[in-house]
Amino acid sequence: MNFPPLSQVQSLNFSRTRYISNSLDEDNPNISRRNIGGNCSPRHSMMVEPRKWQTRVKSFVLQGNARLWFLAVIIYCGLGLILNDSNNPNALLDLEDEQPLIEWVQENEQNLRKEYSERQKLAHSVCEDYDIYMAQDEYIRKADRNEDKLQYQDWFTLKRVNWNYMYYVPGEDFVYCKVPKSGSSTWVYNLLKLANVPQEQISSDIGLHKLLRDHYPKMSSSSMKRVFKKSFKLLVVRHPFERILSAYRDKLEDYQRDLMFRDGYYYTMYGKNIVRVYRDQQDISLANHTEPTWREFVRYLANTPSSKFDEHWKPTYSLCSPCIVKYDVIAKMETFSEDTQFVINQLGLEDQLTVEWVHRTAKETTTEVAKKYYSQLTKAQVDQLFNKYRLDFELFGYYPEEYREMAQE
């Protein structure tokens, strides 16, 4: 199977100290520095001026002692080297000329608007290519003569609105479609802050997603249609292969963690059956291995209808209806800080919300983690995964080639 080549980009990680990094895990995505589309939409990329990140360096009061002055210079320069990404020698921070994210987004607002428009147009064009806006009977007649058309179930899924993942914030006329493992914890945190939920409840990190629905109850489809017309609508997407890997690591890889935080829900509902169906019983190395392995999980994904998936690995298109809902911003995890700040600015919530990561981890880089897992697969298995999530790749401008290259022949 041939895929378009990936473009290469530099990336940043937005953290409390705003230092350069190349780490990515579920809620800790890479931030594209110069290409707002990141390495995921070369057809619709847009170059903007790189922002410089605000870091705080203590000033030194130097009084008539040359040795003290010399020591201060060494410390000052040392801080700059520490903050610099050793893997990116061209990304030295200028500690004397830095710019906060909020200002950078304001200065680049028009370029960002163009990028969001391009993302929206890409999704719309893919929907048109698959005849999503065609009448049902006409599509069925046409599909019988064209093998390239979508299976009817996928076509029907794209043609309807899934209200179950929509959250309406009435005071702000804001609609957020929640995609698990795509920055959802951060936006759940933000929406709970807007609902004036006490900080100690938010910080507990237990039952936040249920708490969110308690404060933003489901509305009838007719009510949602009314508010949609006047609301600012947000969808956050992520590279499909990164998202399913994050879901596996969080929900299925560690049974003890699942038992501690979720009473073993994911093992009971999915893990046990995956092991039963897909484990090679002749492999003695897995004799005492309770959890499904990554390879077993991938075989399960490839052989199971996506309609039976858990929401954490269900395709994004089936959750948030990108063909029917015209999102004002399709944000990407690869440009999450810029996109989040843009939304905050557009809603006029700069005094209430800031760009914060929830569940941020940075022990390994994205590439290191991905290679650790995708190198366990064959290229044929990666191709199967691609076909399972093909619509997400096409709708949101992602490419699989980098992960396929990690796989075995």
pLDDT of residue 137: 87
| Token reading at 128 | 């048109």
pLDDT of residue 65: 44
pLDDT of residue 165: 97
Residue spans of the domains in the chain: they are: 11-53+98-242+311-406
Question: Which stretches of the chain drop beneath a pLDDT of 70?
Answer: 1-98, 145-148, 205, 357-364
- Which residue, among 210, 186, 179, 213, has the nearest Cα to 312 in the 3D structure? 179
pLDDT of residue 147: 63
pLDDT of residue 55: 31
